[in-house]
Chains A and B, each alone.
Chain A
Amino acid sequence: MVSIMEIYQLLPKLNCKECEKPTCMAFANSLLTGESVLEDCPPLYRSEYESQLEQLTTMLAPVKGATETGLIVHDELCFGCGNCVVACPVNVANDPHGAAVGLAPSNDKVILAVVNGVVTAANVSECRRFGPNRILCDVCIVTCPSNAIEFV
C-alpha cells in the first residue's frame, strides 16, 4: 500500500498552501485519508509536473474506495468468512446477541457485515479509528486470513 512519503515525493513541494494545508506533507496525508483530492493542488496541474500527476493518479487509485476511517476491503481477496464481523469490538458491543456470539448481525448498528460473500462497511462513525480521538484498533486486520482488509 502507498505511503505518505511516496505521495510527498511526487508533490511539487512548494508549500504554497493553496490547498489550505500548512505543508505539502500535510496535503500528502490528507490525500491518503481521502480528505483532499489531487484537484486541490493547482500547481500539480502545470505542465512540468505532468508525469508526477500521472504517477499520483495511478498510485491513489486503490485508495479511492476507502471509507472515512481509511478502511479498504479488497473484494477479490475476501472469503466472506465473517471473522472481522464477529471479532470487531464495536460489533460485539452493539450486537451482543448476534455478531458477538457468531451469528449474523441482528441490527443495523454494526460496522461490518457480509453481503454477497464479501464484507462491507457501514456506520463507520462508530469505528474506533474514526474521529480525532481515534485509536489504532487492528482487530479486523489481524483476524483476516487473506489480508483483504487494510487501513490507509
Chain B
Amino acid sequence: MTCTGCALLCEDIDVHDGEVRHACRIGAAHILNRQQIDPMVNHEVVSIDDAIRRAAALLADAERPMFLGFGNSVTETQAAGVRLAEKIGAGIDTCSTHTGLIDDIVHSWVRTCTLPEVRDYADVILFWGADPMNTHPRLLSGYAYYPRGKNRQHGWEEDRTAIAIDVRRSHTASICKGVYEIVPGRNIEFMDALMLALRNKVPKTVYDSKQILKLASTLKKAEFGVIFAGPGLVESVPRGAIIRLMDKLNEFSDFRILPLYSPYNLRSIAAVKPAATVTTTTTDTATDTTAAREHQGDCTPTSKPTLASLREADCLLCVGFDLVSSLPQAHDIDASIIVIDPNKTLTAVCADVVIPCAAGGVDLAGTAVRMDGVEIDLPCIMETGQAGAGIWAGTPARMSDASIMKRLLEAV
C-alpha cells in the first residue's frame, strides 16, 4: 500500500487489524486519522448535496474566484479542478514556494534524478533549507543516506556524505557529517561565497571562509551529488541563483537537485499547470506576489499567497489546503470560503461551506506523482462505510473530491 502522508509516497506500507507497519509517524497518523468533518453551510450541519449546491451557487456568483491547494489531491481531482477553474475563470494557486523549482526541473533548466538513483549512486547529499527528518522522515532511511545502493554498498558509514545547510541545527543536521549554519536572511551570501570557493577563490564573507572552501572541496570531489532543496532555499534565493549554482557544480562533478515539499501530489499540479498558477489567475496573484517579494528585496516568482492577493478574490475554494493555518490573518477576509478536505482543519472551522471528501490513498484510489516525477498508483487502503472494515469500521462512506469537482462542474 502507498502512504500519502508526504511527497515520498512510500509504497511498502502494510495495514491490517488497525495496525500500520513501516510508515513513519506522519504516515501512521495520516492513515489512522479519524478527525472527519460533517458537510456544513454557514457552520450548520447539512446534507452533502446541500453543501455542494451551496458551493456551486457561490462559485457561479463569484466574479473573482480563486482555487487554493490541490497539492494533497490525486491527479484525477486536479484534472477536474483545472477544468472547473477554466470554466468559471478562476485562478489556481498551489500555495507552495516550490512551484518555480519544479518548473525549472520540468523544463530541464536544472538536472534532476529519481529517488532510486539517489539510493544507488549518490555519494554527497546536501539538505539545503530543509529538515527532512521532520517533514519526510523516511527520506534518509529509504533513499538518501542509510540504505545500501547499487554503487554504494557500504551505506552511510563509508560511501556517503550528508551535509545540512540551514538556519538552525535541525534534527537532520544532528545526524549529518557536515553542518553549515546560515545567518537568517543571508542565504544568498552563503551561495555567493560557495560560488567563489568553487572558482578556487577565498570568499570574503560573514561565514567562515575555511569552512566554505572545505565544503566546495567536498562538492567538487562528488561522483554523484544531490541537493534536496527545502523551502529555506527556494524561498530565500532567486530562481536564477539556484540554476547558476547547479551549472557551476556540474562543471566539476555530476550534481542533481530534487525539491523537498510536503504536499504529496504537488509535482503533478505544478508541472501540469505551471501557467495557471501564475498567469491565468483573475486576481493577478503573480503580480501581487512578485510585488511583495520585491518589497522584501527578493524577486523570486513563487505562488505563495499573500493576504493582499487573497483580499482581491471574492470566493476561495480550498482543496486539501488549510489556508488559515498557513496564513492566520486570512480568517477574517471578506471572500466566501469553500473547503473540500478529508479532515477537520482550522479553515474548515471558519469556512462558509465545508464539503468532506475521501483521502487520496487512504479511502480513495488514484494516481499521484512523487517528488522525483515518477507516477505512483495509489491503491485504496480501506473502504469507508464497510461494516467491520478494521480501522474505518462504522465510519460513513466519503465521496471522492474528483466526484465533488465533477458535480460542481455540472452545477455551475
> A-side interface residues toward B, CB under 8 Å?
78-83, 85-87, 92, 100-105, 113-118, 142-146
- CB pair A115 B147 closer than 8 Å: no
Please tell me if B28 contacts chain A, counting CB pairs below 8 Å.
Answer: yes
28 pairs from A and B in contact (CB 8 Å cutoff): A79-B24, A79-B171, A80-B24, A80-B27, A82-B138, A82-B141, A83-B140, A83-B145, A83-B146, A86-B146, A87-B141, A87-B146, A87-B155, A100-B148, A101-B119, A101-B148, A102-B143, A102-B146, A113-B22, A114-B24, A116-B20, A117-B27, A117-B29, A118-B25, A144-B175, A145-B133, A145-B171, A146-B133
For B305, the chain A residues whose CB sits under 8 A away are none
Residue of B nearest to A103 (CB): B12
Residue of B nearest to A147 (CB): B174
For B133, the chain A residues whose CB sits under 8 A away are 79, 81, 145-146
CB-contact partner of B147 in A86, A114, A142, under 8 A:
A86
Number of residue pairs A-B, CB distance < 8 angstroms: 98
**Which 3 residue pairs spanning A and B have beta carbons closest together?**
A102-B147, A117-B28, A117-B25
- CB pair B28 A82 closer than 8 Å: no
- CB pair A117 B23 closer than 8 Å: yes
For B19, the chain A residues whose CB sits under 8 A away are 115-116
Tell me the bound Cα distance from A81 to B145 in angstroms: 12
Residue of A nearest to B10 (CB): A104
Give 17 new A-B contacts, CB below 8 A, not counting A79-B171, A104-B21. A79-B133, A80-B27, A80-B28, A81-B138, A82-B22, A82-B137, A92-B148, A101-B119, A105-B22, A114-B23, A114-B24, A115-B19, A117-B23, A117-B24, A117-B27, A143-B146, A144-B175
Please tell me if B86 contacts chain A, counting CB pairs below 8 Å.
Answer: no
Please tell me if B4 contacts chain A, counting CB pairs below 8 Å.
Answer: no
For B24, the chain A residues whose CB sits under 8 A away are 79-82, 114, 117
In the complex with contacts A113-B21, A117-B24, A117-B27, A83-B143 CB distance below 8 A: no
Cβ contacts B217-242/A at 8 Å (1 or 0 each): 00000000000000000000000000
Tell me the bound Cα distance from A101 to B141 in angstroms: 9
Q: Return B26 CB to nearest CB of chain A, in Å.
A: 8
Tell me the bound Cα distance from A85 to B142 in angstroms: 10
Please tell me if B324 contacts chain A, counting CB pairs below 8 Å.
Answer: no
CB-contact partner of A79 in B12, B25, B149, under 8 A:
B25
For B138, the chain A residues whose CB sits under 8 A away are 81-82
Please tell me if B191 contacts chain A, counting CB pairs below 8 Å.
Answer: no
Tell me the bound Cα distance from A78 to B138 in angstroms: 12
> B-side interface residues toward A, CB under 8 Å?
12-14, 19-29, 32, 119, 133-134, 137-138, 140-143, 145-149, 155-156, 171-172, 174-175
For A103, the chain B residues whose CB sits under 8 A away are 12, 142
Majority DSSP secondary structure for residues of A touching B: loop
Tell me the bound Cα distance from A39 to B134 in angstroms: 42
Tell me the bound Cα distance from A92 to B156 in angstroms: 13
Q: Return A113 CB to nearest CB of chain B, in Å.
A: 7
Tell me the bound Cα distance from A85 to B24 in angstroms: 12
Tell me the bound Cα distance from A152 to B23 in angstroms: 27
In the complex with contacts A103-B12, A145-B133, A80-B142 CB distance below 8 A: no
- CB pair B174 A145 closer than 8 Å: yes
In the complex with contacts A85-B141, A87-B156, A143-B146, A104-B172 CB distance below 8 A: no
- CB pair B21 A81 closer than 8 Å: no
